[in-house]
Amino acid sequence: MNAPASPDAFRGQRPAGHPAVKSGRIGVLLVNLGTPEGTDYWSVRRYLKEFLSDRRVIETNRLIWWPILNLGILSRRPQVKGKDYKAIWNKALDESPLKTITRATAGKLVDALGQSGRDPAGRCLVDWAMRYGKPAIGERLGAMRAAGCDRILLVPLYPQYCAATSATVCDKAFDALKTMRWQPTLRVAAPYFDDPVYIGAVAQSVRAGLAALDFEPEVVLASFHGIPRTYFDKGDPYYCHCAKTWRLLREALGLSPERFQLTFQSRFGPTEYLQPYTDVTVKALAARGIKRLAIVTPGFAADCLETIEEIGVENAGYFRAAGGEKFAAISCLNDSAEGVRVIQNVVQRELSGWL
């Protein structure tokens, strides 16, 4: 009886009739929150319906929430939000700034990984997706697998972990993996709310933003996206992550707690959210006699409706209406050199042992 052939005899070749498959590459998928495909009623409605139907975003009983969402919110809110999106829309590319910035970040990350020597052979495929809207997570994971990525790093672009953001990205990715016969090995990047590279980059960006103003703010707010207080009570670590980011930034900037304050924005409905509220604080500061105010948004990796319109327009209006005079919204890291360096640092840390 002949001995079986050595495994080395088959290395680099496939048996006759073997299906054509690609393998051996590593994928990095950056995922941001999402955006409608247009500013018209139906585009915004589709986006809002997908977003507000997510059980991690809205935990209200479905029997109660379904009529509220479908018979109330989705009949009115798309028109209001459509106007807001239209005001910030990237008309040249016919898309929201969030999509433009996320795509640009992915492209620059490819260059950064190559220049750093971490991916000299080009084995790493970098792509991007949106949790709500397009490009969809499942679509891009499928494309990566088809391109030969049998190991994929998922990078939720949220510095602070929250079940309503980071966890729902994982939910969608796992749903896609359930349909695959050959599942890629999946890693999920850890939140980077206290990473020294991230804190240093945001601090540098804030210093540059403040230095470019024609006034010196009396108070600077660090505004994070809010979540219902009940989510925190159930064990979500989001508030603690935000508070640590705020403390580390305050120390890096050398500002007192009175000069650099923590607030939460973007409340939705009558539910109590994490406090202090950004809009309430803005109005109170102006009423107290503060004339010069700046707001930074370190919980957002890229500028979007919540930073450009809600902070830069809506809250600026609140401040001036209450007696304030000078207001500034400091841009997010976006696809700046500092912003790309933060994501590059996260990716290189998480790809340890793969690249």
**pLDDT tens column, 29-71:** 999 999 999 999 999 999 999 999 999 999 999 999 999 999 9
Cα 112 to the center of its chain, rounded Å: 20
Separation between Cα atoms, residue 280 and residue 284, nearest integer Å: 6
Mean pLDDT value of segment 204-217: 98
The mean pLDDT of 266-276, rounded to a whole number, is 95
- Percent share of the chain, pLDDT over 90: 90
Question: Averaged over 318-331, what is the pLDDT?
Answer: 98
Q: At what angle do helices 196-211 and 238-253 cross, to 10 degrees?
A: 60
* Predicted local confidence at residue 20, as pLDDT: 73
Provide the mean pLDDT of the chain: 94
Check residue 177 and give its pLDDT: 96
Backbone angles phi, psi at 34, to 5 degrees: 140, 175
Whether the CB-CB separation of 52 and 177 falls below 8 Å is answered with no
In terms of C-beta density within 10 A (0-12 exposed, 13-18 middle, 19 or more buried), how is residue 115 classed?
exposed
Band (114; pLDDT cuts 50, 70, 90)? confident
- Identity (one letter) of the amino acid at 249? L
pLDDT of res. 10? 43
Q: DSSP of 111-165, one letter per residue?
A: HHHHHTTSSTT--EEEEEEEEESSSBHHHHHHHHHHTTEEEEEEEES-SS--III
CB 327 within 8 A of CB 294: yes
How confident is residue 13, by pLDDT bands cut at 50, 70 and 90?
Answer: low
Structure tokens belonging to residue 83 = 């106007």
Question: In the predicted model, is pLDDT for residue 109 greater than 50?
Answer: yes
Q: Give the residue with greater pLDDT, 16 vs 291.
A: 291
pLDDT above 70 coverage of the chain, percent: 94
Tokens coding 280: 């309430």
* Rounded average pLDDT over 85-109: 97
Predicted local distance difference test score (pLDDT) of residue 255 = 98
- Where do the H-state alpha helices sit in the chain? 41-52, 62-67, 74-88, 97-115, 137-146, 168-177, 196-211, 229-233, 238-253, 278-287, 305, 316-321, 337-350
- Local confidence band at 333 (pLDDT 50, 70, 90 cut-offs): very high
Rounded Cα–Cα distance for residues 283 and 134 (Å): 36
d(Cα 171, Cα 174) in Å, to the nearest integer? 5
What phi and psi values does residue 148 have, to the nearest 5 degrees? Answer: 100, 10
Nearest to 335 by CA among 100, 67, 41: 100
Cα–Cα distance, 212 to 328 (Å, whole number): 10
Which pLDDT belongs to residue 309?
Answer: 97
Sheet holding 219-225, edge to edge: 260-265, 219-225, 292-296, 326-329
- Which tokens hold the place of 204? 């540098």
Residue 22 is predicted with a pLDDT of 80
With cut-offs at 50, 70 and 90, classify the pLDDT of residue 271: very high
Nearest to 205 by CA among 304, 340, 78: 340
Which of 116-120, 205-209, 296-300 has the least mean pLDDT?
116-120
**Does the pLDDT value for residue 9 go beyond 80?**
no
Q: Cα–Cα distance between 249 and 207 in angstroms, integer?
A: 11
- Each residue of 136-162: pLDDT tens digit? 999 999 999 999 999 999 999 999 999
Q: What is the CATH number of domain 196-329?
A: 3.40.50.1400
Mean pLDDT of 206-233: 98
How many Cβ atoms from other residues are within 10 Å of residue 259's Cβ? 13
The pLDDT of residue 12 is 56
